[in-house]
Amino acid sequence: MKRLVDGNARYVAGKPQEADYSAGRLKRATGQQPFAAIVACSDSRVVPELVFDQGPGELFIVRVAGNFIDENGLASLEFATAVLGVKLILVLGHASCGAVQATITSIKDNTLPPGHLPSLVNAIRPAVYEAMRSNPSDLLAAASDQNVKLNAKLAQTAGPILSERAAAGQLKSAAAMYDIGTGKVTFL
């Protein structure tokens, strides 16, 4: 976790590490050893490698609009932990998430968006309902926070691989929110 916190501090300060990405290319061609897996939104403004000032091969990234974990995400995280040895999963949300807002709109209007978008809405819906219970002044922010918390919990309880590793103390998960305007990541 410290590497992520320190990397984000460098990013926010505008003082990234000097990196020669081509120098490690041959080593990376023989395999990868990421120290953390990040479940992040597909939003083009959220780039975990930049946000945490990490180079190629250091983070295993799973991206989907709305930063939730579904069957494919679970399979990817199981690969990261069982095959690559990752011991930390961070679910990273961000301010003003369009997928979370679409879910709020869908619930309030009692409608579903077109195409395959209902799968996103249905995955995020539990977080929105949970946030609505507290009647927050900013439902989007509260639902976004709740979404990363619920998915970070899932990253530790989904069986068989993740839950077994978590129970054995070999896997931790965390939730965090990224502020696109400041670049700061707040761990929840």
Binding residues for Zn(2+): 41, 43, 94, 97
Cα 150 to its chain centre, rounded Å, is 11
Tell which phi-psi region holds residue 72, choosing left (phi > 0), alpha (psi between -120 and 50) or beta. alpha
Contact 3, 43 (CB under 8 A): no
Q: Which amino acid is at 139?
A: L
User: Beta-carbon neighbour count of residue 82 at 10 Å?
Assistant: 13
Tokens of 5: 């916190």
Q: Which amino acid is at 38?
A: I
Binding residues: 41, 43, 94, 97
